[in-house]
Structure 1
């Protein structure tokens, strides 16, 4: 870290302490004698650092102006370099968001200090510009739209619903309405001088409205405090953000009940006739017929199967992968190629294995994902805290301060739904592999 950058970081810390004391007095509480002394000391330190920073910046400018190219005649090269490497090129998708977060943490949430740090440390011009123009929102800052788009793209490998091909559409003013055909016209044959029967098409609407989704991502301070541009560190931060947001999305896009302010998921979009309880018995013949019947529900509704796929828990797939025919051969060898009965599948732990009265049931989904839509508000908000607490996967309360972590809260707004509900079939009561 350069001397100027280090001093700016120290000044930002001191300024934050001054602001904390000022807020106490602004709330109507008189400062104690010790606090007044501390305020005066902080003011002196800030002024001294400001003067040092000014002198250091002047020194850097003079040094840069006096710099001359290094002669390379010993290597037989006296001409100017043909290419100068800079960090002004656009940052890779997903990584820019991670760099922005890391700089905000290092700057103690001060976006202007973070912008200067980005400039001095050689971050991409897009990162520096974003931090210079970012606006407050949702208790933190609003991520620029181009960064939000890159985050959505990096979510695709992490969210199984997105990965399987769900279509992302913008929510204009927080709402989106898409017409859908409920019933087609009927064409009939008739004899000479017979009246043509009247037929009408039935229409309906898929209405999506912005629903606020939030994810809290705990990240090690050792990662966030790493100075300078480092692709491996930024990729790790970006991956942590994408995984947490992807899991949060899948939880609701697959099994959300649609009550309250949450999206309705595939499980509750599926019509009653497309929800198939698992049959008694688990022989290959029974299982194969059952999977075929799930596919048949979509075929009977004239659903385009080109974009169809399966969703299931890892336990269900491993059981199907171990299923053998009478000759000991794999019943579904194509699983090793990422297919089941000719269609791709995705695994997620967001489909539980503890459903049903016995606490050992799961579900399996066969869906036309090309008919599923994610309406998205392009705004994405982040807030940062090093003192807050959170609950881990086991429900235990964890202190970020005690764990030396920083909590990053990401808030987005979106909704989910299929254009035709007949595009979703759900298998329930799946106990395959419960003893594994």
Structure 2
């Protein structure tokens, strides 16, 4: 694979593909008509008679969420869910970010101060982090009233918990990504559950490369977003929700159908062009075989190596500039990622995809996915790659991680199997953890 990557880099030098930088615009904080309760950077209050609002307010960290913040958000979600007068819940961030993810620096410190080799000892801080986060993901998906998120600005990592809610509003300034393979982890918080329902191999492509999506048409095409509202109209949307009578319906689907006409009044009809739509054929030719590798009798590492060869073939043979750019950018992204993270990600996403296609097994449901992701997460953060990846990306910021192992060829199928092995009884994801 290393020789293939060197060939790719030489090819890349001849292409001179330009990259654009996202343009962020500020929006003012949304007006409220009640004094909010504040707990660990999470503010919550009733807006009008029937809307519960949750505001993530840690702008200096782009709203990256610690375990304390997740628990505070869960407390607000629980309180609003138990209040029969609340007909919908609205979650929002600050002008530049909805949520940039989890607080990975603090998790790194936890495992450096209290290292372990495989399963965390009882009471280890990493247990609390992932028990809290993953139970919150499940509870968002089971919220009894419409769960509405204004995903404006940076939307990454743990911020994807909102993708398991009902309504995800993006603006022209939304920048989405799942970059966990670049820090020695894997794209978690149930993104595999969503990816298995995206067109073709798009979900695996986003997971392995960490590709940023900033075009509303792409966010809508993947199902990551449900509505596109201009940033300048987000405040108006919030006020309209706050003044609307949102009584609890006999079913959430009925409540959502009642909200849709109002949401359509703010929905922007001009979504622009979808980059992913034009790439679907080339993308599927590379990522679908990898996604289906277990059904085809291929090993995980073998499938990743074949993926690189397929991408290089597209880059060298296609006559379409858009496809050349896609293939070369994907190759460059894969070269930067942690090899073990890519292997674990491919195995996990393939298993979820296969379960969804067959419509059978625990991985069809979000809770089953989160139970598997819990054992994966607590094991991967204990490996040297996680501490090194976070160091390189957000601590020292030298962008030069030293992965262990540094080559895909040095990863054994057994080491991947070990990551997915069942945990001892009582040490997995516990649904009563946040009760």
Q: Please classify the TM superposition score into its range, dividing by the shorter chain length.
A: under 0.3
Please give the TM-score of this superposition, normalised by the length of structure 1.
0.22
Larger strand percent:
1
Larger helix percent:
2
Please give the TM-score of this superposition, normalised by the length of structure 2.
0.22
State the structure with more CA Rg.
Answer: 1
